[in-house]
Amino acid sequence: MKLLADQNVHRRVVLQLREAGYDVEFILETMPGRLDPEILARPDIGSLIFITGDKGFGNWIFNLGLPPPLAILFSRLPHSEWAVTVDRVIAVLERGTMAGQMITITQDGERTKPLPIGATNG
């Protein structure tokens, strides 16, 4: 399982996920400054679990029809709470069964919404 962390994800989240054994590509390292549509246009996007705090990705995918990743972990936690974010992301990843879903992580729990058809074609 490969994770793709958006530019707005705290660097410590990425480092902690890597330390926990996850394969994480950090857009800030590999595609800095790229626009959302460029990220979603990656040929491998359908095989990646995308971690972001940017609500714009939902609009690009749900309303404008851009290709979705395998799954989206959308954190609504404050950037300063990076340690909590890491714990919550790992908990979601360990539960599995997220393909084709956008999982919004909030202070109170998670909400799940199916991605448009084609999300699991990766």
Per the structure, how many domains does the chain have? 1
Judge whether 91 lies within some domain. yes
Looking at per-residue pLDDT, the higher value among 23 and 58 belongs to 23
Class of residue 99 by CB neighbours under 10 A (exposed 0-12, middle 13-18, buried 19+)? middle
Query: Domain for residue 110, yes or no?
Result: yes
81-120 pLDDT, tens digit per residue, is 999 999 999 999 999 878 999 999 999 999 999 998 754 4
Cα-Cα-Cα-Cα dihedral sign, residues 17, 20, 23, 29: positive
Residues 29-38 have a mean pLDDT of 94
Q: What is the CATH number of the domain that holds 13?
A: 3.40.50
